[in-house]
């Protein structure tokens, strides 16, 4: 990468700053010198891009469509790969040299591929970009390996506590005062479940590892605990918070505060649960705002941060996808331009924010679309307390349906096994995986 001249990048960056300062709309004829600085084809010809299925497909489609509209000479041809097969497919692609020009990747897998040096090191090309200073912390953490940069955010999801204001009112709770600690959450849940019918105060996905790290993991983080083992020799599941949260969830299930059907939730109907109106409070993601509105337009709901054991403690899981460039890609320049495009002010506002998706830059949260949607602003607050796990074996330790994370939770939720044993078993298993 050092051999490439940096002038095109500097010119693009300069033009971007100019474009940002002038609040004009984008007109192709603005300056001939910086031809569409945020969107330029380094070379002509179709770009191939892979993205995993089961993510925010609408968002990615919109971003690609926006790029294609501006760059008909280097359109992106997007292929969705079933997400359970993504890791294997990327590995095969790299081993056989048949890689796409760029790809979207579940951010959580980035460290694994960076460690194996299968992603192109982009540090020299992008580290000076000012936009990156305010880009999502969680994304940039996993996009970094040994101080080298390998990608930028594609889209961001955060988890938060959604609560049904209608049910709050019915249970005699103040709809503007969501719980700020887990003991409080329990209290409120009891009251809502007491309303009877098919209403329950809370929700726990019983068969979905990813849903749980997304919504229960932050409860542990907020309680001061650490979850994943980052690499060989690292200690997983550290802190009293782990046991406290497991106890909390076990008590929730025993108190009848969750539907029995939650037990089979494997992620495929997770996004439909809150919108059903039958759940008082639920950890879920920003994507659920629009979904719940579509499902249940009359439901009045609010968003708070996921709490920990202590009052006013909070945390969130920053998830989503990164854009990275696989080793062997022949269009690195174009890929980098696409990254620039994604981080540009205009795209942040007119594509991300307009669709009520989180902007991947925290400094763009205050925009005209969000101002009309207080809920989105609320959920964006989670970006400040959020983090992304960093480990080289995320799938096996945590996301795998057969892994120790889900096993530990299932034992905590649905069995009477001694929690210390449960945690010790999971710790041992996670350590073994991390040490391979």
Partner 1 sequence: MYRSRRSRLIGLAYLAPALLFVLAFTAWPLAQMIWMSFHNWSLITPPRWVGMANYQRAFADDQFWVSFAFTLEYTAIITPLLIVGGYLLALLTSPSSPSRRLTRTMVFIPVVIGLGVSSLLWYWLFSTDFGLVNRALMDLGLISKPVLWLGVDADRSNLAIIASVTWKVIGFGMILFVGAIQAIPTEITEASLVDGASYWQRVRRVVLPLTLRTVLLVTLVSVIGSLLAFDQFYIMTAGQPQNETATSVFYVYLNSFPYLRLGYGAALSVILALTILVFTVVQLLLTRRSHA
Partner 2 sequence: MTATVELGRARAVAARRRLRGRRRSGYLLGALCAAICAVMVAPLVMSVLASVKPTEEAAASPPTYLPHALSLDSFERLWTYQQGLPTYLANSLGTALLTIAFTLVLTVPAAYALARFPIPFKEVVFVFLLLALIVPYQALLTPMFLMFARIGLTNTLVGLAILHTVIQLPFSLYILRNSLSAVPLELEEAAITDGASSWQVLLRVCVPSTVPAIVTVALFAFIMSWNEFLGALVLMSRGSSFTLPLILAAARTETSLGGTDWGMLQAGITISIIPCVLVYLLLQRYYVSGLMTGAVK
Residues making contact with partner 2 (CB under 8 A): 48, 50, 53-58, 77-83, 85, 88-89, 92-93, 95-98, 100, 267-272, 285, 287, 291
Read off the tokens for 375: 């809920």
Q: How many CB atoms lie within 10 A of CB 176?
A: 8
400 interface partner picked from partner 1, partner 2, none, CB below 5 to 8 A per type:
partner 1
Region of 237 please: left (phi>0), alpha (psi -120 to 50) or beta.
Answer: left
Number of H helices, E strands in the chain: 20, 11
Minimum gap (Å) between residue 71 Cβ and partner 2 = 19
d(CA 67, CA 350): 12
Shortest Cβ 254–partner 2 spacing (Å): 26
Which residues are within 8 A (CB) of 7 and not within 5 positions of it... i.e. 6 or more apart?
A: none
Question: Toward partner 1, which CB reaches closer, 43 or 53?
Answer: 53
Q: Residue 396 binds which one of partner 1, partner 2, none, with CB within 5 to 8 A depending on kind?
A: partner 1
264 binds, among partner 2, partner 1, none (CB under 5 to 8 A by kind): partner 1
- The four Cα atoms 286, 288, 373, 294 give a dihedral, to 10 degrees, of 160
User: Contact 213/396 with Cβ under 8 angstroms?
Assistant: no
CB contact set of 302 (below 8 Å; sequence gap of 6+): 162, 163, 165, 175, 176, 178, 375, 378
How many Cα neighbours within 13 Å face the side chain of 291?
18
Stretch that binds partner 1, among 68-76, 278-286, 302-310, 392-400 (CB under 8 A): 392-400
User: What would the two tokens of residue 148 be?
Assistant: 């080298």
Q: Whole-number minimum distance, CB 13 to partner 1, in Å? A: 33
Kindly write out the interface string for residues 242-271 of this chain, putting x where it contacts partner 1 by CB under 8 A and - elsewhere.
------------------xx-xx-x--x--
Residue 205's nearest CA partner among 245, 258, 134, 252 is 258
The reply on whether position 194 binds partner 1 by CB under 8 A is: no
Kindly state the smallest distance separating residue 17's Cβ from partner 2, in Å.
35
Partner whose binding site includes residue 263, from partner 1, partner 2, none (CB under 5 to 8 Å by kind): partner 1
Nearer to partner 2, 81 or 242 (CB): 81
Residue 7, exposed/middle/buried by CB under 10 A (0-12, 13-18, 19+)? exposed
Which x/- pattern over 58-97 shows residues binding partner 1 (rule: CB under 8 A)?
--------------------------xx-xx--xx-xx--
Q: Does 116 bind partner 1 (CB under 8 A)?
A: yes
Q: Which residues bind partner 1 (CB under 8 A)?
A: 84-85, 87-88, 91-92, 94-95, 113, 116, 118, 206-207, 260-261, 263-264, 266, 269, 395-396, 400-402, 406-407, 410
């Amino acid at each position: 990468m050092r051999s490439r001249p940096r002038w095109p990048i500097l010119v693009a960056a300069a033009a971007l700053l100019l474009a940002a300062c002038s609040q004009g709309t984008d007109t192709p004829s603005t300056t001939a010198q910086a031809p569409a600085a945020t969107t330029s084809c380094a070379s002509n010809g179709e770009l191939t891009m892979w993205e995993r299925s089961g993510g925010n497909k609408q968002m990615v489609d919109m971003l690609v469509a926006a790029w294609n509209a501006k760059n008909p000479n280097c359109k992106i041809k997007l292929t969705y790969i079933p997400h359970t097969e993504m890791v294997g497919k990327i590995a095969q692609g790299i081993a056989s040299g048949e890689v796409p020009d760029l790809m979207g990747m579940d951010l959580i897998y980035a460290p694994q591929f960076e460690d194996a040096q299968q992603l192109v090191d982009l540090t020299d090309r992008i580290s000076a970009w000012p936009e990156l200073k305010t880009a999502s912390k969680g994304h940039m953490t996993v996009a970094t390996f040994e101080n080298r940069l390998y990608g930028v955010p594609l889209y961001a999801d955060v988890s938060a506590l959604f609560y049904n204001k209608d049910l709050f009112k019915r249970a005699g709770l103040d709809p503007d005062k969501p719980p700020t600690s887990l003991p409080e959450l329990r209290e409120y849940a009891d009251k809502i479940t007491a309303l009877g019918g098919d209403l329950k105060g809370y929700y726990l996905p019983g068969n979905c590892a990813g849903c749980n790290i997304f919504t229960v993991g932050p409860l542990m983080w907020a309680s001061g605990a650490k979850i994943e083992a980052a690499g060989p020799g690292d200690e997983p599941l550290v802190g009293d918070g782990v046991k406290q949260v497991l106890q909390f969830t076990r008590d929730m299930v025993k108190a009848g505060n969750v539907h029995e059907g939650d037990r089979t939730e494997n992620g495929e109907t997770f996004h439909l649960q809150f919108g059903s109106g039958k759940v008082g409070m639920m950890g879920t993601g920003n994507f659920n705002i629009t979904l719940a509105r579509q499902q249940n337009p009359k439901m009045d709901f609010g968003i708070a941060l996921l709490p920990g054991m202590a009052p006013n403690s909070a945390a969130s899981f920053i998830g989503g996808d990164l854009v990275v460039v696989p080793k062997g890609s022949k269009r690195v320049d174009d890929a980098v331009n696409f990254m620039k495009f994604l981080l540009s002010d205009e795209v942040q506002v007119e594509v991300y924010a307009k669709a009520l998706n989180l902007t991947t830059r925290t400094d763009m949260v205050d925009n005209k679309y969000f101002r009309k949607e207080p809920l989105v602003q609320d959920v964006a607050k989670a970006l400040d307390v959020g983090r992304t796990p960093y480990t080289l074996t995320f799938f096996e330790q945590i996301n795998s349906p057969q892994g120790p994370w889900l096993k530990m939770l299932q034992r905590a939720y649905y069995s009477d096994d001694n929690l210390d044993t449960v945690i010790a078993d999971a710790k041992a298993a996670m350590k073994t995986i991390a040490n391979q």
